[in-house]
Homo-oligomer: A and B are copies of this chain.
Amino acid sequence: MSNVLVVGSVALDSVETPFGRADEVLGGSGTYFAASASHFAPVQMVGVVGSDYPVERLTPLAERHVDLAGLERADGESFRWRGRYRHDLNAAETLETRLGVFSHFHPKIPTQFRNAPFVFLANIDPRLQLDVLQQVEKPKLVACDTMNFWIESRRNEFLELLGFVDVLLLNDAEARQLSEQANLVKAARWIRERGPSFVVIKKGEHGAYMFGPHAVFFAPAYPLEDVFDPTGAGDSFAGGFIGYLARTGHTDEQAMRRGVIYGSTMGSFAVERFSIERLLDIERVDIARRLEEFRKLVAFEEDLPE
C-alpha cells in the first residue's frame, strides 16, 4: 500500500441546499479528498488553516490514517466558502468566498511526505501546484484538478504544469474552456497531447469519462434519489480514484477503470449528507455494496441476434 500526498484547501463551508443548511462545517478540496482516499490508503495532507480553525474537528481524519503533519496553522482567518444550490444541483452559486490565510498559502511539503508515490494536486493556483512538484521526489503518479478561474487567469502556468501531470481531472465545462473544443472527445485529445496520459472529464450527475492511451471508459453517476449536498463530490471522486490506485500500486488501464468506479462510488456517498459526514460514516462493506450496484447498473449480456 502506497501513501497519497494531497495538497489542497482546508476550509469552513456554509451551504444551503433545497434540503437544509449547514454552517461552518469542514470543507475544502484537501479535506474531501483526504476523507475519501483514507478508506483506501494512508493520506498525507498539506494545507493551511487560520488560527480560528477548529482543528479538533479534524480528529476523525487523523484517526483514519490522515497524517496532518503538513497542515500549517497561520495567523489570521481560515478560508471560508458560502454557497447555495437551488433545484439544479449541478450548479453551485457562490455567495461569498473569504480566502483568509489561504491567499498567502505556500505549500511546504514535510520531508517525510516527499517520497509519496501518489500525489494529488487539488484545485489551487497552478504556480503552487508546480512548486509542489519541485518539492517531491519522482512520484509514480501525479494527478491534478483545476477550475475555470485558473484556466483563464493562469493559462500558461497551467499548460506548463500539464507536462508533469499523469492524470488530469476536470469537469466538462473546464475541458471545453481549456481546449476550446466543444466536443469532449476532441477536448480530451487536445489535453492528452499536452501531457496527461489520462484525462477524466467529470459531468456531475451525468457521470464521468476517462480518456486514456488505448480506450475511453465511462462511469455513470449513481442514480441517487436524494442528492443532499453536491459540495465536494469532485474531490471525493478524486479521493476514491487516487486512493484506490495507491492501495493497489497499479496504474495500468484496468486499475484506472476500477479507480474511476471507486471514484464514482465515493462521490455518490459524499453527496448524501453535508460536509464529509457520510464519508466518515461509511465502512468497507458499504463501499463494496455500492460498487456492486455500479456493476449491475451497466451490466448486460452480449447476444447479437443472428
Contacts and interface: CB of A to CB of B under 8 A. Distances in A.
Interface of A: 40, 87, 182-186, 203, 206-207, 209, 215-220, 223-227, 244, 247-248, 254, 257-258, 260-261, 284, 287-288, 291-292, 295-305
Given A216-B223, A218-B298, A298-B298, A303 B207 contact: no
B301 A225 contact: no
A220 B296 CA distance: 14
Interface of A (DSSP majority class): mixed
Given A219-B298, A247-B305, A295-B302, 6 more contacts: A183-B227, A203-B206, A218-B220, A220-B298, A258-B300, A287-B304
A299 B254 CA distance: 9
Contacts of A296: 215
A193 to B, nearest CB: 15
A216 B293 CA distance: 9
Nearest to A185: B225
A40 B206 contact: no
A261 B300 contact: yes
A76 to B, nearest CB: 40
Nearest to A209: B223
A240 to B, nearest CB: 12
A153 to B, nearest CB: 24
A294 to B, nearest CB: 9
Contacts of A303: 248, 258
B248 A220 contact: no
